[in-house]
Amino acid sequence: MRSRRDSPHRTVVVLSPLVKVTWNMKVKVMEEYPLFCADGSSTEQLASPVLLGPLDHIAQHFVPISVAFVYRRGESRIVMDDKDNTPRIDQLGAGGKLFSATCCDLLEAFEAVGEDDEPGSKPRLIVTNLPGGGNALLPPFDPSGAGMTRDPILSVQHTRFACGGVAIGICIRHIFCDAGGFFQLVRDLAELYRALRAFENGLIDNENEVKLSKPPHIRSFMEELHDMTLEERQEALQFQPVGFKLSPEVESAAAATNKLIPAPVTGRVLRFSSSELAALKAEANANNNGKPLSTFCALAAHIWLSIYRARVRLCEASMALASQVSPQILLSVNLRSRNQLRDVPPQYFPNAVFSAVLSVPTAQLLDAPLSTAAALIRDGTQPQAPTEMLKALHWIAAQPDKRRVQPCCNYEKEGVFVTQWSKFDMYQGASFEVPPALVAQPFTSSSLYDGLTCLMATEDQLRQSMDSAGVTTGSIDVNLALKEPVWTILDQDESFRRHRGCRSAVASIAPRSYFSSVRTPQSPNDPVIADAANFAVDQLRALSDSGIYTTLSLSKIHAAATELGDFHYVIHLQVALASPYFRSKRQVEDFEMMVLESKPRIEECASGKFNATRSIAIDEFPEMDEDAIENFWIKMVEERRQRRRELFEQWEREGELADGGGKQDHVESSEEKTVEKVTKTLTLDELQAMPTKQLRQLLATPESTAPLRAAISAILDERLTLLEQREETLNNQPINLHRDEL
């Protein structure tokens, strides 16, 4: 794409007051550019106007798909048909819009340790900490009917931080595509960017080779139904589809937009770790006798139950009837992966989602175990017969007013609305020059809808193999919007995050039906096998002292089998691991591994409380390049030395505060006098004779006084200086570090 600032089609976007106030805090828009296709022949091949299909008709034009891609420094308008309100794109080639903005702060200023992170975790980027809660990184969006006909289809905002980091905010109206199409668009943009850079650097000779390896399919499925005959319409209207209904009245766009901002609703990002997800999945499958329940079913059911019970408690506290609380849940189902639209080609860009609505009796859900609710979600999202889905699309296309078509969901009552984005390639596909440090959906006026839940992938996806895309192996960020009184109850509900902080003590590598005394082959594409393989690689990554194993990633699962051992449930794996630092200089090498889970002891079976633990075994450990190992050792020592310096500075500041302002002459006294005072209890020789670990423990004791900490810090600082001198000596020689020397 290219920009044409002198184009007569340039559009001026009117920003809402809320957006203006938010942006003026940290982020300032410097420029805006119309965007056009660089090759005019691409648009000439398309029919004009562009007709949208039935699955697009039921999407909302005032709902955006807006995502901010944050990178560390590393380097057509919509027209509604006058007859039946069918949306279409006119003015083909009118272009998108690019906004250029800057932020005066460093990207690191928005990092923090999340409330759900494990102790000792490093600070990370969290969307709610970004300027304007992340909204300042998104291009302006007007959800009104005027904005629909005036504003560009695609808007992009490029924001540069003071440190050189970059955020790319992309916004497109939901009526044109769903999340699957959106992330496909991002992958395509990243591929074109990398190809252009390769051409600029001389890696590609011909500019004509700068093109997509798999071009998108942008024609809407069954768009030809727009020209149905009268007889075809009458026949299609005889069918009553499952999951859709006609609303009695059509609201104005302004009224519908206003309903998207119920107050007061607060959005939070809850991080569920891989161990917490595994524990929920194990709990859901514990009493499950049917088809295994996925991580999505377990997590969605847990959120559904927790929110419903919190709302019931809120009603009871206000003396209202608990029966007024709706037990409904709406789940977005991606039809691409369900083989329900057989004629949909690969790389399909427009909408291909179906909303499954589940509603059960109040008494059935209130006291239901997790396994029951998860099974309801599993069964309620099963694929429909392709013929039934095609009839439903004909029924939508035949409606005289498309605005009346809605999912069978009572939006007047509170519910839970779950959409799963974590299965999409959110991180690896968005690599322009470097992979993103954060991909997040900020809470906007349209996403602050009570009960709206979006499951987002995290940076853990960067460690996931491409073969296991769509399988949950890392943590998940749950973007959840709820009324503040409901949040208050959830915060007090210990069962809501009952598995938070759990380790491998609560785990289940697979449903017990997978195991028998005979070694049984399993499909490498089985989500259970992919989960076990990624667990094994995660454990292996932590086993090297130098940290070089952190470069290992799962490339492919060749074969797998399960077996019931004497003391363990065992999954045998033949996998290919990738790393740029293998001694063999190959990028990928094959290994045989086992994932084991301990069987419960007799007394645990009797009590019903299992203490299952996971472990791994590997035939031969990966052999890494010796020079690379030494470089990793040096890097590790440098990082430890920096952390130690920061710790010393912290101790010194604490000592100054503890001594108080009235003891300045004591603080300014010589180090020898300070040590002499300390050695009234411990002599200097005794302190010098103590190992470093013991000195650090002594520093952490409550009885440690400021003078004692000063003396110990002086000793540790001297040892650090000796270590630095030793490293300088080694750097002047051929480097051959040994672990016992460090």
pLDDT tens readout for residues 461-509: 887 655 444 455 589 999 999 999 999 999 999 899 988 876 433 345 6
Whole domain around residue 656: which residue ranges? Answer: 628-741
**Spatial CB neighbours of 327, under 8 Å, sequence gap ≥ 6:** 308, 359, 360, 361, 362, 364, 365
**Spatial CB neighbours of 478, under 8 Å, sequence gap ≥ 6:** 269, 270, 271, 272, 299, 303, 453, 454, 455, 456
240 located within any domain: no
pLDDT at 677: 38
pLDDT at 8: 28
Q: Domain holding 567: CATH number?
A: 3.10.450.10
Order across the sheet with 50-51: list the strands.
50-51, 87-90, 77-80
Rounded distance between C-alpha atoms, residue 462 and residue 459, angstroms = 6
* Mean model confidence pLDDT for the chain: 78
How far is residue 432 from each of residues 115, 159, 181, 198, 463, measured CA to CA in Å? 30, 15, 18, 12, 17
Helix (H) or strand (E) holding 301: helix 295-317
One domain, residues 555 and 458:
no
Structural domains counted in the chain? 3
Tell me 509's DSSP state. Answer: S
Q: Are 268 and 486 in contact (CB under 8 A)?
A: no
482 located within any domain: yes
pLDDT at 573: 94
Q: Give the whole-number percent of the chain exceeding pLDDT 90.
A: 26
One domain, residues 318 and 382:
yes
Q: Are 102 and 165 in contact (CB under 8 A)?
A: no
Q: For residue range 18-42, list pLDDT tens digits in order.
A: 333 333 456 777 677 777 676 667 7
Rounded distance between C-alpha atoms, residue 704 and residue 144, angstroms = 64
One domain, residues 131 and 206:
yes
Three-state helix/strand/coil letters over 562-599: EEECCCEEEEEEEEEEECCCECCCCCEEEEEEEEEEEC
Least confident of 23-27, 90-94, 304-308, 315-319: 23-27
One domain, residues 409 and 550:
no
Q: Is the pLDDT of residue 316 over 80?
A: yes
Instruction: Work out the average pLDDT over 348-376.
Output: 88
Last residue of a domain, one of 609, 624, 639: 624
pLDDT at 670: 40
Rounded distance between C-alpha atoms, residue 378 and residue 367, angstroms = 19
One domain, residues 548 and 637:
no
pLDDT at 17: 29
Which residue, among 578, 571, 613, 614, has the nearest Cα to 593 in the 3D structure?
571
Return the axis-axis angle of helices 706-731 and 692-700, rounded to nearest 10°.
150
* Lookup: tokens for 249: 């009245």
521 located within any domain: yes
pLDDT at 439: 94
One domain, residues 342 and 456:
yes
One domain, residues 657 and 614:
no
How far is residue 135 from each of residues 23, 68, 150, 259, 625, measured CA to CA in Å? 8, 8, 21, 20, 45
> Position 436: which residue type?
P
One domain, residues 387 and 313:
yes
Last residue of a domain, one of 579, 601, 624: 624
Which one has a higher pLDDT value, 646 or 364? 364
Rounded distance between C-alpha atoms, residue 735 and residue 347, angstroms = 51
* Lookup: tokens for 649: 């500075």
pLDDT at 604: 47
pLDDT at 250: 56
One domain, residues 657 and 534:
no
693 located within any domain: yes
One domain, residues 728 and 594:
no
One domain, residues 620 and 633:
no
How far is residue 318 from each of residues 313, 321, 496, 562, measured CA to CA in Å? 9, 9, 22, 53
Q: Domain holding 123: CATH number?
A: 3.30.559.10
Instruction: Work out the average pLDDT over 623-640.
Output: 87
328 located within any domain: yes
257 located within any domain: no
690 located within any domain: yes
Last residue of a domain, one of 576, 597, 624: 624
pLDDT at 462: 83
pLDDT at 727: 67
pLDDT at 655: 63
One domain, residues 77 and 191:
yes
468 located within any domain: no
Which one has a higher pLDDT value, 728 or 113? 113
Residue 151, number of CB atoms within 10 A of its CB: 25
Q: Which residues pair with 455 in a beta bridge?
A: 420, 478
* Lookup: tokens for 528: 């259970």
Q: Are 698 and 619 in contact (CB under 8 A)?
A: no
Instruction: Work out the average pLDDT over 321-344.
Output: 80
For the four alpha carbons of 271, 494, 302 and 501, in that order, the dihedral sign comes to positive
